[in-house]
């Protein structure tokens, strides 16, 4: 990486500072961004509300300070329809518009460099890299790494940084943060008392909770029902899998998903995971012929992050994923084996 010494003094390794002090990391990130005049913020591929909401919240705050700001992600080519309304300042740009060597690069909600997809090479060409994340598996690939694996969403990490920067929390910024928070906590099912207090603060800033949450979680085109009927009719429950804890899975093919938004396909796992007889749920989503993105969910007893890591992916203890190629049956066979390995340990 090409460091600008006026912005940051790298640690002895030449990369991430060897510090576990989150407060110090936040202060360093704030110092870098306060001095920056041009900032590129990147979400992971197939960005969700936490990744893009976090990027847009920070991007909007910097934009208002006169910083040249762009927000982007490696794939797909279009912004998810349900997230477009968060971009009130027109900060989103296509991946092709991201500079080859950004002066300051901020990677958000990105558990590894590979999750940046086609834009991953910008990590090595950027002047300074700031990582804002909440994935426990994050290898801290930036010069400044603000990684809080206790935070339920990256949006909470960004909010702490905004406070460190002295940013006024008005409705547009608060709405971006709330979008990430409400989705990553599954409507606050997995939220601490402190996180509920944060939500109250965001609502006090003017956020309309129903207006934010409904398009993200509770609104689908009619064709979604037909897709669900086909996919769920093929779902399979394996009661003895996952060490006898139960495993339920479903497959969404390209044909199933034809004419629907990625948001509809992503939401299937939230229905499959409701199976009472299964500790672990998985949904295989076909991206291209015989190319799959696999979402994993667990109730409480199996660490699906470990399962995903065995298969080249990552995530959180109860929500993770990986990509794979080949026939769906072969992907499921590898997944079963990984589940048994983790369940046995």
**Boundary (domain end) residue, out of 184, 201, 218:** 218
Residue-range definition of the domain harbouring residue 64 = 22-218
CA atoms within 13 A on the CB side of 90: 0
Rounded-to-integer distance, Cα 59 and Cα 41, Å: 7
**Boundary (domain end) residue, out of 200, 218, 236:** 218
Query: Could you tell me if 112 and 175 lie in one domain?
Result: yes
pLDDT value at 4 more than 70: no
What is the β-pairing status of strands 236-238 and 247-252? antiparallel
- For the ranges 12-21, 122-131, 164-173, 257-266, which has the lowest average pLDDT? 12-21
Query: Could you tell me if 137 and 234 lie in one domain?
Result: no
Query: Of the candidates 261, 260, 251, 272, which has an alpha carbon nearest to the alpha carbon of residue 319?
Result: 272
Average pLDDT over residues 74-78: 93
Is 250 within a domain?
Answer: yes
What is the overall mean pLDDT for the chain? 93
Question: How would you class 81 by CB atoms within 10 Å of its CB: exposed for 0-12, middle for 13-18, buried for 19 or more?
Answer: exposed
- pLDDT > 70 in the chain, percent: 94
Cα end-to-end distance, the chain, whole Å: 38
- pLDDT value, residue 20: 52
- pLDDT value, residue 10: 35
Residue of 90 and 2 predicted with greater confidence: 90
CATH number at residue 295: 3.10.310.30
Query: Could you tell me if 210 and 237 lie in one domain?
Result: no
- pLDDT value, residue 345: 84
Rounded-to-integer distance, Cα 59 and Cα 93, Å: 12
- pLDDT > 90 in the chain, percent: 91
Query: Could you tell me if 110 and 240 lie in one domain?
Result: no
Average pLDDT over residues 252-269: 96
- pLDDT value, residue 14: 35
Rounded-to-integer distance, Cα 252 and Cα 286, Å: 6
Is 2 within a domain?
Answer: no
What is the β-pairing status of strands 68-73 and 38-43? parallel
What is the β-pairing status of strands 128-133 and 144-147? parallel
Token pair 């979400």 is at which residue? Answer: 43
DSSP symbol at 92: B
Is 313 within a domain?
Answer: yes
Integer angstrom CA distances of residue 17 from 13, 35, 111, 136, 286: 8, 19, 17, 17, 39
Residue 21 pLDDT level (bands cut at 50, 70, 90): confident
- Torsion (CA) 221, 224, 225, 226 in degrees, nearest 10: 120
pLDDT value at 229 more than 50: yes
Rounded-to-integer distance, Cα 103 and Cα 327, Å: 42
Rounded-to-integer distance, Cα 135 and Cα 151, Å: 9
- The tens digit of pLDDT for each residue in 31-47 reads 999 999 999 999 999 99
Number of domains in the chain: 2
Q: pTM for this one? A: 0.87
């Amino acid at each position: 990486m090409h460091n600008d010494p006026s912005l940051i003094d790298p640690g002895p390794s030449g990369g991430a500072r060897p510090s576990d002090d989150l407060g110090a990391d936040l202060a360093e990130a704030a110092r870098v961004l306060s001095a920056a005049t041009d900032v590129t913020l990147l979400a992971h591929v197939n960005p969700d509300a936490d990744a893009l909401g976090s990027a847009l919240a920070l991007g909007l705050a910097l934009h208002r300070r006169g910083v040249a700001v762009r927000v982007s992600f490696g794939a797909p080519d279009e912004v998810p329809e349900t997230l477009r309304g968060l971009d009130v300042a027109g900060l989103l740009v296509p991946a092709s518009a991201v500079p080859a060597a950004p002066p300051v690069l901020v990677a958000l909600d990105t558990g590894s460099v590979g999750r940046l997809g086609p834009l991953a090479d910008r990590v090595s060409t950027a002047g300074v890299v700031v990582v804002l994340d909440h994935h426990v598996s994050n290898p801290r690939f930036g010069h400044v790494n603000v990684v809080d694996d206790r935070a339920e969403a990256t949006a909470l990490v960004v909010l702490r940084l905004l406070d460190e920067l002295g940013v006024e929390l008005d409705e547009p910024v608060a709405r971006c943060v709330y979008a990430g928070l409400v989705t990553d906590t599954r409507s606050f099912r997995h939220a601490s008392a402190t996180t509920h207090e944060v939500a109250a603060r965001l609502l006090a800033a003017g956020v309309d909770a129903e207006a934010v949450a409904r398009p993200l979680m509770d609104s689908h085109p009619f064709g979604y029902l037909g897709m669900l009927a086909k996919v769920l009719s093929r779902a399979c429950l394996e009661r003895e899998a996952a060490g006898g804890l139960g495993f339920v899975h479903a497959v969404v093919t390209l044909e199933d998903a034809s004419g629907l938004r990625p948001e509809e396909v992503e939401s299937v796992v939230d229905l499959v995971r409701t199976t009472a007889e299964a500790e672990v749920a998985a949904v295989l989503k076909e991206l291209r012929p015989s190319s799959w993105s696999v979402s994993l969910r667990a109730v409480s007893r199996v660490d699906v992050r470990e399962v995903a890591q065995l298969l080249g992916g990552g995530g959180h203890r109860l929500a993770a994923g990986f990509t794979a190629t080949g026939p769906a049956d072969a992907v499921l066979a590898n997944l079963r084996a990984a589940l048994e390995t983790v369940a046995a340990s």
